[in-house]
A and B are shown apart, each in its own frame.
Chain A
Amino acid sequence: MPQDGGRDGAERPARALRRILLAALSLALLATFALWRIDNPRVERVRMTIVDALHPAVETAARPLGFVAEMAADFENFANVYEQNEELRREIQRLAAWRAAAQRLEQENARLRALNNVRLPPSLGFVTGEVIADSGGPFLQTGLVNVGWRDGVQDGAAVMDGAGLAGRVVGLGRRAARMLHVTDHSSRIPVLIRPSGRRAILSGDGGRAPRLDFLEDPDGVRPGDAVVTSGDGDVFPPELAVGAVALGADGLPRARLAADLERLEFVRVIRYRPDTAIERPGGLVRHGPPPPDPDAPETGEGDPDASGPGAGGSDASGAEAPAEPRAEVLR
């Protein structure tokens, strides 16, 4: 390409200008990265504005591609139909035993709640969204969901598939939200291990089974124990199913996730407001999001976590109008 690299005198100022432009652009992008790293909300807002603007196009483009992928998956399934049938039969037998156990536990749970007069979470709803985009890169494991703040989704909200916790909302647009998978390197979630009651931090490391860091007394934890959210920090509701304890190949305790992150199609974004707690006399002035707006559209469809005990207190109709947090006086 000799023409592009022509060294005429006339091209020299253009080359100099180009270098200046490149340097300015590099500095601007570096500054953007620095702002993003210090969690500047404006950067995330800009990003989600772009996502909001392009989200219909992305969704439209993803549809035919998804159709092709589904066809390929269907063909593969068809080829393995006999093996799948056998496996499903075995699965049904296993699930029948689990169903009986679940019914027994549900009854026991109800009895215990009645005995203890347990106060259930006042506001736990969810909104269902479709995963319209994968991260497509190895640096951050994220996905785009086609629900945003107009649907009552809040930043930091828990995201679940049918079986367990899949991630949390890290970017919020009007019509779309970005979810960070629990397997991402920057994901940290406080969890509780049942039945021992040990606490730990679920730390993503890019693998399929996140680590259980800062585990209290690891000897009291056995593979197969249930891992649920602890609710510490009041970001996630407690008792959302996460998975089960497993021992990793590196000898570290890990969580085998209940959610299938590789086949996320529809997800539930939990709308959770922690229970009101008055801890001191001055605590009558509550700092937090406003109460639910009765005029807001109803988007919840039922129990947000059918597999977790927290489901008992869910209020599917508790639609919350998105608004800036403000101080208000409790009545």
Chain B
Amino acid sequence: MSGAARPAGLAGLAAAFAFPALALLALAVQLAPLAETPPALTPDLFWCVLAYFTLRAPRAAPLGMVAVLCILRDALLGGPFGAGALSFVLASELLRRRAALAPAPRPLWSDWAWCALGFAAATALQWALLLVSFARPPSPAALAPHVLVTALALPVVAALLRYALRLGASPRPERST
């Protein structure tokens, strides 16, 4: 994904603006009192957008911006303040590291697995922080559907960003002429 890694000109600018805009939009959708679905069955769309950008267009999602957006997420969603941002920042850095180490055209399933693992790790870290601070976190069984639903939403969000908005496309192998 070298093209996405060093986005050039207008495309790079668009990707840089697209990340915060899409992350905030995902937050708004998550926050909207839409349906009678319990929170555990609502996918974390914010994570889907964050994971997609840190894997496919990491330069459009710098650490500072990720941290600010994660703090906004914590403030708006009402979760454990600080713990949510910390876990998401660390998980996104894990994905960034993976994007830096793995060669650009990566198999889709491995990206999906890493994003899902990253979210599971972030959820587990929040749960552990609540537990060690003598709070009463929900049981892991209650959190599992949330992780599963978010993992299922990841390819949908990725496809939407990739094919509808044409963001974070993998580079095509160069053809010799």
Contacts and interface: CB of A to CB of B under 8 A. Distances in A.
Interface string B97-132: 001111110000000000000000000001101100
Contacts of A69: 32, 34-35
B174 to A, nearest CB: 14
Interface in A191-222: 206
Nearest to A73: B35
In terms of DSSP, what is the predominant structure of the interface of chain B? helix
Nearest to B144: A138
B83 A133 contact: no
Contacts of A135: 39, 77-79
Interface class of chain A by DSSP: helix
Interface residues of A, number: 58
B4 interface: yes
A54 interface: yes
B129 to A, nearest CB: 6
Interface string A1-35: 11111000000000000100110011001111111
Interface stretch (A77-85, A259-267, A286-294): A259-267
Q: Which of B1, B28, B29, B85 has the most CB of A within 10 A?
A: B28
Most interface-central of A36, A136, A142 (chain B CB within 10 A) = A136
B82 A4 contact: no
Interface residues on B, range: 35 or more
Nearest to B80: A139
Given A33-B129, A133-B31, A264-B33, A18 B63 contact: yes
Interface in B31-83: 31-36, 38-40, 42, 44, 58-59, 63-64, 67, 71-72, 74-83
Ranked 10 nearest A-B pairs via Cβ: A5-B100, A33-B82, A32-B82, A61-B28, A142-B78, A136-B30, A133-B31, A29-B86, A50-B75, A65-B32
7 contacts: A3-B5, A5-B100, A33-B129, A47-B75, A62-B32, A69-B32, A134-B39
